[in-house]
Structure 1
Amino acid sequence: MRQKPVLYVLILGSFISVYNTCSMNVGLPAFIDIFDSDLATVQWLMTGFTLATGVIIPLSGYLGDRFSHKQVFLYSIAGLMASSALCAVSWSIYSLIAFRILQGVFCGIIQPVTLTIIFQAIPKQQRNVALSFWSASSILGPALAPTISGWLLGHNWHWMFLVLVPVSILTLWMGVKWIPRDPPSASGPLDRLGLMYAVCGSLALLLYFGNIHQWGLWSYRSAFVLILGLASSLLFVRHELRVKAPLLHLRLFRSRIFMSSILVSAILIIGLYSGIYFVPLYLQEIHRMSPFEVGLLLLLPSLSSGAATLLAGALYPRIGAFRLVIAGAVLIVLASWQFSFLALDTNLAYVAFWMAVRYIGIGLSMTPAMNAGMHAAAAEWYSHASALINWLRQIFGALALGLFTSLFYARQNLHITVLQQSAATPSAEWIRLSAYTLGIDDSFVVAALLVLLSLPLALLLRERRRDKEGRESREEPTLTTPAQTRV
């Protein structure tokens, strides 16, 4: 199949991007010692990366249309390779933070651009399977990154960043050779005002959700940043609906399928992040496991998500997004509910099993929801649809981490107070660990309830008509192209 080499390149590019996103999750405590720093400073290795990624995504659609998606992809891989090498030679925590921010810029571009190339270069009849393989590669990043980076961190931290340089070189060579050239579209001038609103809104909201547990929900700083973010976002929407050459075509939300796919994906992202965030913390804090041991325990559960994603890609043409999203969401709800019963002596096999169930649910539901949204857009709008999907997923991912962290600390403090007032007089360490576990349990209850909201929203993905071969087709027509739209 001629399209296979193209898919190989996109899979490698997506894996590199997601790996760099997740490789730092287990390394923050180590870098406190390496650079003799503190947690508040080292945290910016993740915070700065996330902010850079969230800010650049809205620009990816314009860049692809203006310079061709192949060129943007190749330059992003080259930039990511260079910034990774710079991270490896960092001489201080501040230089490492700066280079991680640079990494975030290129990672933020790669994901939406690769998704767009899939819909441009892969024939429609092969697109569902290709998308499932691309999604599976994105899942391999979180699955392998904690194990690989945890092992490398224990030997030589520089190789955390150098390990993917050879893979990046291979991806560049393959990309130059196999990705078809797509001529730049007739894109108008850059919507600078829209970009300013998008950057300001993204920065403010990401900062708010990322620091709400430190600043406090009702603090003046939180209120100011939240108001700034919401105001900038509203101005962005108002401006984009009026300008002739918008940064992002928000008229995509006129499609019920596209809008519902975004909402379902956002809720699923919130459910996903609760497990990715809290289960490793539970294993390290309660069971005293090392980052490498946590990565090994969760490796097979994570890989099960890749298998479920491939299965969803094969089933999507026959049964559609609705049934897959429902099945996946039910599994996520069930597993999240089971994690609300974690205790100090919970068996590790129990944790691994229910993490596998959660990951299978994610694999069955995430890609079909995204696939339905992309198919609702005209070909000329693929880059804008991809940018919107990835941008909002980034925002809601930050929202999930911020809200769950704040909820966890609030519930933990409440449980400490209750346990201290009990008739028994256990040790202070037992109280701390018990309250820690109960706080995680409460967070999973909320995660289960939130994912339940995706079930009625998934009804909007139902398709009514069938073609002559019995396969489901979209309920509504594809959106009109920009040239057909009167602004």
Structure 2
Amino acid sequence: MNNTNDFNLKKVLPAVLTIAIGMLLVMMDTTIMNVTLPHIQSAFHQNLSNSQWVITAYTLAMATVIPFAGFLGDRFSDKKVFALAIIFFTIASFLAANAHSMQSLIIWRIAQGLTGGVVAPIGIGMSFKIIPMEKRGSMMGLLGLPMLLAPTIGPALSGFLVKHFNWSTVFLINLPVGVLALIFVLLFLPNFPANKASKIDLKGALLSPFAFPILIYGVHVGTDKGWSNPTALSFVGLGIIMLLLFIIVELRVENPLLHLRAFVIPEFTKGISLMWLNQIVVFGAMLLVPLYLQNVVGLSSKNTGLIMVPQAIASFLGMTIGGRIFDKFGTKAAVLPGFTLGAISLSLFSQIKPSSSLAFTLCAIILLGLSQGLVNMQVNNHALQSVPMKNISRVTPLTNEMMQVVNSFAIAFLTAFLSGQIKKQTGLSPLQANLTAFHHTFWLLLLFVIVGFILTLFLRKKAKA
């Protein structure tokens, strides 16, 4: 089906949209909890430290299961595992909505993470099997929709639901979406043959749960309690040691859980490096811009959310245009303008003031959105397209797992940098100290964009496996 001559939009489009709906179902539950958490805390009479496990447990469960996605898809067929993941994720959502204690809610959140964690890597892997190479830029842009919609719609939807109903509705909303996704899977996803001879990498399977989740948890503790905290240092140190052992094992086995040998492919390494750089900028912007608007400008969370909506719209526009440019002219033609727009946007943010006009702020936000759209899926496609198709099911879990780690480190690093900059601004008023610190942090993000621009110059026009 991945031959251009066999390309049939009427068959491929519903399949890609089905995968996107499944991914949106899972990604929404990552972003929807930030607004809901205080209401859950109040309902179960828990402190913030205990309540945060509702988010942490979900993240760690996903990090635990993602490395197994490739093996599960190969052994039992991608379509079957994708469908079962959606079924059990939906059931776990129903049980979470009916939880009667914080402990039971955390258990069902772990169940959500363990089932939902395989959806994105298997979904992206299926899309590469469905979409011919010459159409991947424009069609894969649809899979970027969940990444755009989840951060924008999630907080707004959860805010509406908890205001007019109660916290349990943020889980109940998953039920119709899950049922719809399952129907679409059965109707539109092609059958992929299962490889009954596929064997699991036992050493890797034993090590991965002690590598990625422990490392990510250590970063979370460090972000929350400071990097001198003994628990943070212990978990980060243990996580790094286990990760090194995992890498050594995976490079020596014939059928690894994660295809780490992909890093010997120059275009994959360059593409994945650009993904990491862009992800730092994306998560940094998602963290900094709303914080600036609320803490410095003094906007409400509702108005901040409304101002951020054009970013998602611009990202979708950039993704659509970028996909077509990618198909016709190659990666650099889309990514270089994308990083250029990102540099202009962050330059504007580094000069922004509470007195800046709404038009100035929206201009910076829209340019940032266009930049993300032009860069994000294009560098992802470039990296994955350089990998032989036979290895794609073991590479998509690798890229997803590394994104979990990079996102955790990005938030921790930028939060620490912003806090440090605020403390350094002695002799200034609190407002001016905050403003200067935000400007310096935006300059730091601009540095990542410049590095990304330079690295893009070394990409081949189109990556080939």
TM-score with structure 2 length normalisation? Answer: 0.92
Residue 396 (structure 1) aligns with:
406
Which of 318-327 and 220-229 deviates more? 220-229
Shift of 1:214: 3.5
Matches of 1:327 and 1:201, distance apart in 2: 37
Give per-residue Cα distances to partners, 1:162-212, cap 9 Å, x unaligned. Answer: 123112101101111221111112553221221232221212221232222
Shift of 1:9: 0.9
Give per-residue Cα distances to partners, 1:291-349, cap 9 Å, x unaligned. Answer: 33332221122121011111111111222112322221222232223223344444444
Alignment CA distance shift 1:304-1:187 (3 Å): farther
**Equivalent residue runs for 1:374-453 within 5 Å:** 374-415=384-425, 417-419=426-428, 431-453=429-451
Which amino acid in the other structure matches residue 452 of structure 1?
A: I
Alignment CA distance shift 1:30-1:418 (3 Å): farther
Matches of 1:333 and 1:56, distance apart in 2: 36
Shift of 1:443: 2.1
Please tell me whether residue 17 in structure 1 is matched to residue 15 in structure 2. no
Task: Check conservation: 2:136, 2:327, Cα contact below 8 A.
Answer: no
Matches of 1:444 and 1:208, distance apart in 2: 26
Matches of 1:252 and 1:104, distance apart in 2: 26
Task: Check conservation: 1:261, 1:370, Cα contact below 8 A.
Answer: yes
Task: Check conservation: 1:274, 1:401, Cα contact below 8 A.
Answer: yes
Task: Check conservation: 2:74, 2:195, Cα contact below 8 A.
Answer: yes
Residue 137 (structure 2) aligns with:
128
Matches of 1:42 and 1:282, distance apart in 2: 25
Please tell me whether residue 324 in structure 1 is matched to residue 351 in structure 2. no
Which of 7-16 and 83-92 deviates more? 83-92
Q: 1:172 aligns with which of 171, 174, 182?
A: 182
Matches of 2:355 and 2:92, distance apart in 1: 43
Alignment CA distance shift 1:60-1:81 (3 Å): same
Q: Matched residue of 1:225: which SS?
A: helix
Matches of 1:350 and 1:396, distance apart in 2: 31
Shift of 1:145: 1.5
Matches of 2:445 and 2:150, distance apart in 1: 23
Residue 87 (structure 2) aligns with:
78
Matches of 2:220 and 2:357, distance apart in 1: 32
Alignment CA distance shift 1:163-1:79 (3 Å): same
Please tell me whether residue 292 in structure 1 is matched to residue 330 in structure 2. no
Residue 257 (structure 2) aligns with:
247
Q: Matched residue of 2:383: which SS?
A: helix
Shift of 1:351: 3.0
Task: Check conservation: 1:213, 1:409, Cα contact below 8 A.
Answer: no
Task: Check conservation: 2:276, 2:403, Cα contact below 8 A.
Answer: yes
Q: Matched residue of 1:298: which SS?
A: helix
Residue 353 (structure 1) aligns with:
363
Please tell me whether residue 211 in structure 1 is matched to residue 211 in structure 2. no
Matches of 1:347 and 1:43, distance apart in 2: 36
Shift of 1:283: 2.8
Residue 112 (structure 1) aligns with:
121
Which of 160-169 and 285-294 deviates more? 285-294
Q: 2:149 aligns with which of 140, 145, 169?
A: 140
Please tell me whether residue 461 in structure 1 is matched to residue 453 in structure 2. no
**Equivalent residue runs for 1:172-321 within 5 Å:** 172-185=182-195, 187-321=197-331
Task: Check conservation: 2:199, 2:255, Cα contact below 8 A.
Answer: yes
Shift of 1:63: 0.9
RMSD of aligned C-alpha atoms? 2.1
TM-score with structure 1 length normalisation? Answer: 0.88
Alignment CA distance shift 1:92-1:170 (3 Å): same
Task: Check conservation: 1:143, 1:303, Cα contact below 8 A.
Answer: no
Q: Sequence identity of aligned pairs in percent?
A: 27
Q: Could you list the runs of 5+ residues in structure 2 that have no partner in the other structure? A: 1-9
Which amino acid in the other structure matches residue 392 of structure 1?
A: M
Task: Check conservation: 1:333, 1:448, Cα contact below 8 A.
Answer: yes
Which amino acid in the other structure matches residue 358 of structure 1?
A: L
